[in-house]
Structure 1
Amino acid sequence: MKVAIIGGTGFVGFHLTRHLLAAGHIPRLLVRPGSEGRIEERDACEIVQGDVEDRASLNDCLAGADAVIYLIGILREFPARGVTFDALQHQGVVKTIAAAQAQGVERFLLMSANGIHADGTPYQRTKYQAEQALKASSLRWTIFRPSVIFGDPQGRMEFCSQLKKDIIDSPLPAPLFYRGLLPTNAGGFELAPVSVGDVAAAFTLALAESRTESQTYSLCGPQRYSWKAILNTIAAASGKHKLMMPAPVLPIQAAASLFDRYPWFPISRDQIQMLMEGNVCHDNDSFARLGLTPTPFGVDQLTYL
């Protein structure tokens, strides 16, 4: 099967390309000029130079494909540089849907995100809008909503390596965020980290099984971990013991309101809000529905750190 991938040079795209090749598929990647070096097995892939905002590039990428996978997602937007949630997470999907319909590609797999909703942050809202656009189309769709994803980053941005760089390796104590005036349950909000290999396996399986059509799968790891437990695990995997202390969210949000427009500031207001909401699957049966066994999060899985 020839599979067009939009966003194939990113973290998930790198691992998904490996899985697709192992399953005998031919990945066709839409790649910005100059980013060809980010593709591991270039000779086994088809490469189309272009950008998701260019309809001609999308048409070239999707022409003759059997399916398309849309992976593009960003954690922060920088409107001054033209990098926005709406352009990449919503309008990019709308344009890819239109190109798929024009090129006769009927199968569409979308990477959304766990915990999104219509009235959430701009990140959550644009992911939700993309889902609605796909569901309203005539395409045979499958939507995946992963929680925070961990795994060997291969030089790309990844959840655990980013926390190691920004928090564990910092000389400052690790922040255990909390709301309100008192540090009640500081760092107690929960996440359910999911392996990038398991996410890639889910996408690959969906291409082969029609039962996954018109289905939405929330992909979470098998266990929930508090923010504090996750930081301790990353520290242990890094061979360190990290001092931690309660950190009230309000002043951090105030600082972010002033500085999160700049790339050097480590976190945005929306990221803080979503972090405090937690990120777990309330009906954690998607891997069972797919017939897959998710990988547990732990020190043994973080040797890449």
Structure 2
Amino acid sequence: MAYFLQLLINGLHSAALYALLAYGYVLIHGLTHRTDLSLGALFAFSGQTFILATAFGWTVLWMTLPLALGFGLVVAAIYVGLGGYAIARLIYAPLETSSRNTILVATLGLSIFLMELSRLAADTRDYWLPPMLAEPVPVLGAAAGISLTRIQLINIGVALIVIASGELVMQRTSAGRIWRAVSDEPFASSMCGIDPRRVRTQAILAACAVCALAGFLAALYYGNVSFNTGMIFGLKILFITAAGGLSRPLHAALGAAAVGVVESLWGGYFSVLWRDAAVFALLVFVLALRTNNNEAERI
């Protein structure tokens, strides 16, 4: 029982990262109704940029580790902010009236560009952060022997605060009402004096900030974030949101968190090599089941 509980508790960290990515993805998709493959790439790009900038501050600028981490965070925030603005202005703005597949291809091209940019910046090498805040903290009492590290607890807490703050904005402020209005009826919203393009740009920037935060938290915990990891995370979030709903950010975040816990349990009892295949198979099954239910309701 203790082993099961430890796996369940460990899954909360992956659940927090997945929830952040899913929340950010639906912030965009709820407005554009287009498949976007760039957020997983931004997740990896944020983590890699943070690590590279931290390594530069540590080895070249001779900064202390806290200053180097702060320097890396600022550099990553600037680059991701520019990337988010470019996505809004150079991809979504000119392609908003095009077919759905156009955005898919454009964001895939952006993902490849970011991957090559990170590879060239790192000179095809891996840089690692030192372990930080890795001391175990008992979560169910010292006698139970179930613990999380300090960095895991911090990451989970940050994810909860961000998602809770996002929901507070979505449900209790005019910004959330405007987002829902543009999501439901962009043309009618424009007739009421709302600029859908401005709302979309703000949502894209907010989503990029959330995904960049997830990449930063992942880099702090794992010490390294590969681009392949970002692509896998992005594809999982795409399937999760497609299966669970593309118009409610909180619902998508909860579904993504559940997948993170399932992954942890699978890794504890079955082969890790088949973990991603099992998760994708489960998501495809749920998506097919949901599609069949929708078809039955229409009939």
Query: Shared topology, TM-score over 0.5?
Result: no
Higher percent of residues as helix: 2
Which structure's residues are more often strand, by fraction?
Answer: 1
TM-score (norm 1): 0.25
Where relative contact order (Cα < 8 A, 6+ residues apart) is larger, the structure is 2
